[in-house]
Structure 1
Amino acid sequence: MTGTTPAAVAQTYFDALGRGDIPAVMAQFSEDVVWHQPGDNQFSGDHEGLGGVGALLGGMMEASQGSFALTVTGPAMANGDMVVVPIRFSGSRADASMDMSGVDLLTVREGKIVAVHLFSEDAASEDAFWGRS
């Protein structure tokens, strides 16, 4: 497997997330990446470009008081330029917490993530944690 296959890019991305290496995380995205955040909360909707995704991730860390964490819970599965990865994510702050399973679907083209679609086990609980805008 080369370093630019969709599965390899996904592995590099999730490894960097696990280390908290945000520059390495951001380096996996194309300049025109689109992140599709589910739900009905302050972060829901499409976030476009490196600036939009960086602001989203920074906002999530701020809203979770730096506690937001994500771990891979199973093998990545690739189908062409798409890679799906089972995950578990959590966060807490003084007045709320969340801890649930989900799936991240990454679309990778030419060695860069061009789209991110997220799926959560409990959308209502995730919305309650992130809060409304």
Structure 2
Amino acid sequence: MTAKEVVEAYSIALSKGDIPTAFSHFSPNAKWHQPGNHQYAGTKTGLEAIGKMLGDMMGATQGSLVIKPAGAMMVNGNLVSFPVHFSGKIGDKTVDMKGNDLFEVVDGKIVQVWLFSEDQAAEDVFWN
């Protein structure tokens, strides 16, 4: 599979809520770089740490966190840039903004993910 096909397969599985299939596209030692200054920010290494962070985020938003494609995936070698739109609600706080997810794919597996937010300060307020 090409880098783009790997990220597409991950995205499709994630959109269906099929976490085991989504995570099957990751290297066991993958790194997830979550930006910002909030409880989930920082680099998570390995599927267990990444899965815990994502599960905690879904729990905090009571399942309201939605991430949807916001444009075409763009490829440069083994890097795939994926524009997204994300939204969610925690109590009376909401987040609704664009972002960009950057994936590095090596030997058919996602090895690193970097996330970028349209308004990091607003996202920090949301998650804190």
Q: How high is the TM-score relative to the length of structure 2?
A: 0.97
Question: Paired residue for 1:129?
Answer: 126
Gaps of 5+ in 2: none
Alignment map for 1:14-93 (pairs within 5 Å): 14-93=11-90
Q: Deviations over 1:19-58 (max 9, x none)?
A: 1111111111100000000000000000000111111110
Q: For 1:56 and 1:24, how far apart are their aligned partners in 2? A: 17
Gaps of 5+ in 1: none
Question: Paired residue for 2:98?
Answer: 101
Query: Contact 1:107–1:113 at 8 Å: present in 2 too?
Result: yes
Q: For 2:112 and 2:32, how far apart are their aligned partners in 1? A: 6
Q: For 2:13 and 2:37, how far apart are their aligned partners in 1? A: 28
SS at match of 1:60: helix
Query: Contact 2:90–2:126 at 8 Å: present in 1 too?
Result: no
Q: For 1:122 and 1:25, how far apart are their aligned partners in 2? A: 27
Shift of 1:97: 0.7
Query: Contact 1:70–1:87 at 8 Å: present in 2 too?
Result: yes
Shift of 1:65: 1.2
Supply the RMSD in Å over aligned alpha carbons: 0.8
Query: Contact 1:33–1:115 at 8 Å: present in 2 too?
Result: yes
Q: For 2:123 and 2:26, how far apart are their aligned partners in 1? A: 24
Q: For 1:94 and 1:46, how far apart are their aligned partners in 2? A: 26
Q: For 1:89 and 1:24, how far apart are their aligned partners in 2? A: 21
Shift of 1:76: 0.5
Question: Paired residue for 1:119?
Answer: 116
